[in-house]
Structure 1
Amino acid sequence: MRASASQAQDLGLPAIYLHLLAELLHNLNVDEHALLLRVGLDPARLKSTELRVSQSQASEFVTRAIIESGEPGLGIMLAREMKLPLHGALGIAVMSSETLGEALELVTRYLTLRAPHIRVHQQREGDRAVFRLVCDIDLGPLQSFILDAMLFGCVTMGYQLLGTPIKGAEIRRMGPEPGYFQRFRQQILVPVTYGSREDAFVLPTSVLDLPIQFSDEELAASSRAQCEESLRQLTEDAGFGCRVRRVIETSHPFPPKLAQVANTLFVSERTLKRRLQEEERSFQHLVDDVRLERAGELLENTTMNLSQIADSLGYADAANFTRAFKRWTGVSPSQFRNEYREAAEKARQDAESMVPATA
């Protein structure tokens, strides 16, 4: 018997996928901004390929998105929007692979980075390769959505990698064909069979040796190493404190109250405090860690003044923010910004000096 989502480790889902889904909702005339805020998510934070959203918030957002849009086929629609670079290091590693088979091997090994609790089992059926998707836990309303996005996303991925549809490929889905599928059947480039004993992407073994049009050996090696390190961090840093931090990182309003985070994680405030204490952490320290990180990003990458930054970080005024930032870093926000800009300008000048002059 599979565990429920509430009983399993919550490794989160990449925030960028919810950002793409929000864009789809906008095209369907749904107020995606208001919907994200109701779920407690900050729309501006979802554009990152690095941040992750708690599974409970992702599930709530997907469920509400389907209800408010009246479109149960959102997973298929999302699959069409999945450009490979949006999958982070894994997407880059896949794009720079030498062959289609190598690309699929990477997806199999590192899928946890993009879809935790989904596993790929490879098997052969004569001259066909079967990539079967299995859920470790019951994901509830999120499960059908994710499987739609992943399986139909394989078709999109194959087209991007080869520049042409994969000949002889097919998709197998468990359960009866849903009523909404007929509206999408003509848009999908491969046959789809419902009522199967498995959820799988199937293709001839002969196509596994087809070359990838973006193949880059050096980039492939570096991005694979990044995937390996990211997987290590994700699986090792799976404690309760990491779950709390994920909620803090993407919360609206910021900073979130302890009660808001506890409610998102389905625990009492007392339990949240106790479990953080067991890991020698505190809620306020996690909030401050995220504040410092966000402050650095805003100082480096925006022209916001100190009052605007202070307000976005939940401080009463610029003076309170300045005191806190100096306590964390030893320098004032203005000094931090100036030093960053000076270093960036020097790096730009050094780069220009290395470019040979044209005749």
Structure 2
Amino acid sequence: MTHPGLTGLQDLVAELGGGDLLTSLNLPEGPPPPGAFQQALGLAARLTGREEIGLLLARRRSLETLGGLASLVGSAPTVGEAVTQLFEMLPRSFSGGVRGYVERRGPEALLVGQVVTADPPALDQQADHLAGAAVGLIRQLTRADWAPEAVYLVRKAPADPAPYSRFFGAPVLFGQEMQVIVVRPALLDAPVAQANLALNRELFAQLSSRARGDGLAGLVRDRVWRGLTSGACTAAEVAADLGTPLRSFQRRLAAEGTSFSAILDAAREALARRLMRQTALSLAEISDALGFAEPAVFTRFFTRRAGVSPSAWRRG
């Protein structure tokens, strides 16, 4: 069985003259393993010579490609709730380690997305696809010519940025700390044409019940990734955000074989690698962004986990 996302990507690669993607990918029989879609995106970029392949694929996305989430998103009362619900359910419905959230900030609203795996394959193409699919979704829920105020991408600057400006219809900045789509707050309150509040609440309850299989640790990972980019990332803050007393919070994580510090350290290491690879931030700036007291603490932390210093890892 082939994942619909791989089938769509295979068709796109063939149309662009890149040959048979699935044969080149050489997947085992059965459902694609975790990470197959990300590997396929990178291979597709090489086969076609189109580094913006993630955007090209996003242009073809529709609500139906969300599978079981299509009815949930399409029945949401507002655009803001549709995007929020999608971000909440996406990590537990598709593999690939994507996290996202919506944040209102004064005269702006931010749609923040992150690829949260430690050394993700084809991060540039993943970043393109994530942002492109989010913008495409909003266009389907509102109008086809909708454009964000600005787009910040974690990917490195492409050789030709013109396709990005054309796709988004907005200023695009590359090599950023976070993957952010800036929109007007009024957009979040815009009604969805096919809204069905009763159906939406029923579907959300069903999907949330299934999602609880991830346990507390899955919820904590979500909050940690959000906290790392918004400044609230202590055990007490995350426990309070989840409505759990701190001692109970710690006991439940221990019962699941992990701890807050283990989850936080894994996220910090993954984001450190991302920022060192994809941005021009100094090590001191990265240390500060990750919440370390000083660069020397960050250096010891990273060296202990990676086996080499941050500067040596970055040179390599």
TM-score of the alignment, normalized to the shorter chain, above 0.5: yes
- Bigger drift between 156-165 and 108-117 goes to 108-117
SS of the aligned residue for 1:123 comes to strand
Change (3 A) 1:158 1:114: same
SS of the aligned residue for 2:122 comes to helix
Equivalences for residues 251-262 of structure 1 within 5 A: none
Q: Could you give the per-residue CA deviations for residues 257-290 of structure 1, whole angstroms, max 9, x where no partner exists?
A: xxxxxxxxxxxxxxxxxxxxxxxxxxxxxxxxxx
* TM-score in terms of structure 2 length: 0.60
1:22 match? 10
SS of the aligned residue for 1:137 comes to coil
Report how many residues are paired. 213
* Alpha-carbon contact 1:87-1:114 (below 8 Å) kept: no
* Alpha-carbon contact 1:90-1:106 (below 8 Å) kept: no
1:31 match? 19
Q: Unaligned 5+ residue runs, structure 2?
A: 216-316
| Shift in Å, 1:202 | 1.5
2:34 to 48, 55, 72: 55
| Shift in Å, 1:232 | 4.0
Supply the RMSD in Å over aligned alpha carbons: 2.6
Give the distance between the partners of 2:19 and 2:156, measured in 1 at CA: 32
Moved over 6 A (4+): none
SS of the aligned residue for 1:138 comes to coil
Identical aligned residues as a percent: 21
| Shift in Å, 1:38 | 4.1
Q: Could you give the per-residue CA deviations for residues 101-142 of structure 1, whole angstroms, max 9, x where no partner exists?
A: 111210221120235422224433322111222232224333
Give the distance between the partners of 2:154 and 2:41, measured in 1 at CA: 21
- Bigger drift between 164-173 and 148-157 goes to 164-173
2:73 to 94, 101, 105: 94
SS of the aligned residue for 2:51 comes to coil
Give the distance between the partners of 2:114 and 2:205, measured in 1 at CA: 26
SS of the aligned residue for 1:20 comes to helix
Q: Is 1:227–2:207 an aligned residue pair? A: yes
What amino acid does structure 2 have at the position aligned with 1:148?
A: D
What amino acid does structure 2 have at the position aligned with 1:153?
A: A
SS of the aligned residue for 1:55 comes to coil
- Bigger drift between 111-120 and 162-171 goes to 162-171
Change (3 A) 1:181 1:16: farther
Q: Could you give the per-residue CA deviations for residues 73-94 of structure 1, whole angstroms, max 9, x where no partner exists?
A: 1101111111012101222211
Give the distance between the partners of 1:77 and 1:230, measured in 2 at CA: 32
Change (3 A) 1:41 1:230: farther
1:142 match? 122
Give the distance between the partners of 1:139 and 1:176, measured in 2 at CA: 15
| Shift in Å, 1:210 | 0.4
Change (3 A) 1:212 1:169: farther
* TM-score in terms of structure 1 length: 0.53
Q: Is 1:154–2:134 an aligned residue pair? A: yes
Change (3 A) 1:183 1:231: same
| Shift in Å, 1:57 | 3.3
What amino acid does structure 2 have at the position aligned with 1:190?
A: A
Give the distance between the partners of 1:99 and 1:116, measured in 2 at CA: 27
- Structure (1 or 2) with the larger CA radius of gyration: 1
Equivalences for residues 143-182 of structure 1 within 5 A: 143-166=123-146, 168-174=148-154, 176-182=156-162
Give the distance between the partners of 1:90 and 1:210, measured in 2 at CA: 20
Give the distance between the partners of 2:104 and 2:149, measured in 1 at CA: 14
